[in-house]
Amino acid sequence: MSRLISVSEDIYYQLSTLKTNKQSFTKVIGELLQKNKGSINDLFGTLKISEEEARKLKQEIKKERIDFFKR
């Protein structure tokens, strides 16, 4: 099964420079995803924000989740 996705012109150009004539964009994207595969735990502690910023971020995420499930 295939899916249709949209990418901006600049991303399309970047992907096209990575692909060979016989290689599909699917293959290029798959290889990039495998190279960059990591764990969510790798991100732990990388966001340096204040307690107030963290509180606001949590509120915003909660609001977005509520709005998402109302659709």
Q: Is residue 29 within 8 Å of residue 15, measured between CB atoms? A: yes
**In this predicted structure, what is the pLDDT of residue 24?**
93
CB 19 within 8 A of CB 27: yes
Backbone torsions φ then ψ of 55, nearest 5 degrees: -60, -45
pLDDT of residue 44: 76
Supply the pLDDT for residue 17: 93
In this predicted structure, the answer to whether residue 33 has a pLDDT above a threshold of 90 is no
* pTM as predicted: 0.47
**Residue 71: per-residue pLDDT:** 76
Contact assessment for residue 15 and residue 25, using Cβ atoms and an 8 Å cutoff: yes
